[in-house]
Amino acid sequence: MSSASNFPDWHGTTILAVRRNGKTVIAGDGQVSMGPTVVKGHARKVRTLAGGRVIAGFAGATADAFTLLERLETKLEQYPDQLARACVDLAKDWRTDRYLRRLEAMLIVADSTSIFTVTGVGDVLEPEEGVAAIGSGGSYALAAARALVAETDLDTEAVARRAMAIAASICVYTNDNLTVEVLGGG
């Protein structure tokens, strides 16, 4: 991997996935920062893939993330309705391909039954609690979402929105301009 000194001091992104009661939600904030400066407040870091059957959110370098999303889309075409297999295949390529190995990004990918965090070191992690988060405010959103899932009867989307608001109130690299994508009912 490249050293961090080769890249500008980019911060900002909180991506949160919540799956509960037959509904899957991925929410992402809109802030992109370079050092202490907010350079964009309405970035769209959450996308639908596979004809709307899969949602993906990214943290890291945008061009790198788009490259990974394109590769994931190809894997989803190759393995329709097999999200785990597509993610594992992407992670394998990401880890072994000389070009992909240099990409600086992380993904959260979900369908109506599963959530996966996919990284460039070969990780494909499925959360036990149905909640996953990445990015600079990810730990704040994750903690808030886990508490809200355990302690409230809020709808899945409401959990994601509330957890993201909590993260935005704590992390200076996270804002409240959200992109929210939803799969399923309930």
Say what the alpha-carbon torsion angle 117, 80, 18, 150 is, to the nearest 10 degrees.
Answer: -100
How far from 133 is each of 41, 113, 115, 155, CA to CA, in Å?
Answer: 20, 17, 10, 18
Is residue 169 within 8 A of residue 143, CB to CB? The reply is no
The catalytic residue among 13, 24, 156, 174 is 13
- Which region, left, alpha or beta, applies to residue 46 given φ > 0 means left and ψ of -120 to 50 means alpha? beta
Known active-site residue 13: yes
- Catalytic annotation, residues: 13
